């Protein structure tokens, strides 16, 4: 059955200036101020499995920070709050150059999908990530992943340690096990609805329930709810065929437990207590190297803990970066951000 949102086939565009419509919408409609760090240059990188959008923001001479978003978002909606000057992400924004990877079809103003995206798997996204990192020649990186994106970056770090690798990974609510029956049934019902109706209110509600806590969804006010409203509205502008493929890949993901246990880089695990992945990630963290892994449990938060409770991330993130400095990364960082 055809998916709403565009057919397959690809007219490649290699580079363009990215003027971030999201920034304009947030500054005009939401009671928060978006920083210029969200703006950047969008490039379509040709990987061995097709084209993938990468948005580069910041000074390329700074430490590279590779990001990967969760299903139902893109880098703009997923990382907007953490990039605010008043948020913990200000530390990252002042000290890093971001390479935001968008899953095929999830970027803003998406192009028709590459044929390879029709058979998207999580393993293929890992390969595409490896090709992108190799394309830019990135080494001694930081990674920032949310949900499915956290799975991709962690799997890359485990499978490609010889590529220069991540010095540190910040993972928000990563799924560490294969899909359980509850997630599988709910997810496949949503995929069926997407194939018929595209981003209907029911489909958007499903993704918002994954991403945000009950408190944020029901509060009706505050910055957290503002970001939820923007995510809800902008979701329908994504290419449903791309989001469908990404979500289908997530529901068929391999187990990541052994890969995470093999990592030697520093890890900051941020676990929203209302996330469906909370228990499995917390259980796995007990088996990881405690000297290299810091775990932060965030109450009243789901997968997007950075939106639900951004104030809970400031101190752990600063401590995480301080430990990386002790390891020799970011000797020129300024971590004294008010």
pLDDT at 17: 39
pLDDT in tens, 242-285: 899 999 999 999 999 999 999 989 999 999 999 999 999 999 98
For Cα atoms 212, 178, 156, give the angle at the middle one, nearest 5 degrees. 85
Neighbours of 43 (CB within 10 A): 21
- Flag whether 171 is in a domain: yes
pLDDT at 87: 62
Q: What is the pTM of this model?
A: 0.88
pLDDT at 156: 96
- Low-confidence residues of the chain, pLDDT below 70? 1-39, 84-89, 110-112, 114-117, 163-164, 220-221, 337-338
pLDDT at 91: 86
Number of domains in the chain: 1
pLDDT at 12: 31
- Flag whether 1 is in a domain: no
pLDDT in tens, 176-230: 999 999 999 999 999 999 999 988 999 999 999 999 999 999 876 677 888 888 8
- Flag whether 87 is in a domain: yes
Please check whether residue 38 is in contact with residue 18, taking contact to mean a CB–CB distance below 8 angstroms: no
Give the neighbor-by-neighbor strand order of the sheet with 50-57: 15-18, 40-47, 50-57, 96-102, 63-68, 141-146, 166-172, 266-272, 293-298
pLDDT at 39: 64
SS3 51: strand
pLDDT at 28: 44
pLDDT at 313: 87
- Flag whether 33 is in a domain: yes
pLDDT at 37: 40
- Flag whether 337 is in a domain: no
Concatenated DSSP letters of 182-215: HHHHHHHHHHHHHHHHSS-HHHHHHHHHHHS-HH
Q: Which residues form the domain of 78?
A: 15-326
CATH of the domain at 284: 3.40.50.1820
SS3 292: coil
**Quick one: residue 6, left, alpha or beta (phi over 0 = left, psi -120 to 50 = alpha)?**
left
């Amino acid at each position: 059955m055809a998916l709403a949102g565009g057919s397959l086939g690809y007219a490649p565009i290699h580079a363009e200036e990215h003027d971030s419509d999201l920034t304009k919408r947030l500054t005009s409609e939401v009671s928060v101020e978006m920083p210029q760090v969200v703006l950047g240059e969008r490039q379509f990188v040709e990987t061995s499995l097709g084209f993938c959008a990468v948005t580069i923001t910041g000074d390329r001479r700074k430490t590279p920070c590779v990001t990967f978003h969760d299903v139902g978002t893109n880098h703009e909606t997923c990382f907007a709050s953490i990039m605010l000057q008043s948020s913990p992400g200000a530390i990252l924004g002042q000290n890093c150059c971001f390479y935001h990877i968008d899953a095929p079809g999830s970027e803003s103003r998406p192009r028709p999908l590459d044929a390879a995206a029709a058979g998207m798997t999580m393993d293929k996204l890992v390969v595409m990530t490896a090709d992108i990192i190799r394309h830019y020649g990135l080494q001694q990186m930081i990674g920032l992943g949310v949900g499915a994106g956290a799975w991709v970056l962690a799997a890359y770090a485990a499978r490609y340690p010889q590529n220069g690798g991540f010095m540190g990974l910040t993972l928000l609510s990563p799924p560490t096990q294969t899909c359980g029956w509850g997630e599988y049934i709910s997810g496949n019902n949503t995929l069926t609805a997407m194939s018929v109706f595209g981003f209907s209110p029911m489909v958007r509600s499903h993704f918002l329930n994954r991403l945000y806590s009950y408190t944020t969804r029901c509060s009706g006010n505050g910055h957290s709810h503002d970001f939820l409203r923007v995510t809800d509205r902008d979701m329908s502008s994504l290419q449903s065929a791309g989001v469908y493929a990404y979500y289908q890949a997530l529901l068929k993901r391999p187990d990541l437990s052994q890969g995470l246990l093999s990592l030697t880089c520093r890890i900051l695990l941020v676990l929203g207590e209302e996330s469906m992945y909370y228990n499995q990630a917390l259980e796995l963290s007990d088996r990881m190297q405690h000297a290299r892994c810091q775990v932060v449990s965030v109450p009243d938060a789901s997968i997007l803990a950075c939106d639900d409770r951004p104030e809970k991330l400031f101190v752990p993130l600063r401590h995480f970066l301080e430990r990386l400095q002790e390891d020799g990364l970011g000797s020129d960082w300024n971590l004294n951000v008010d």
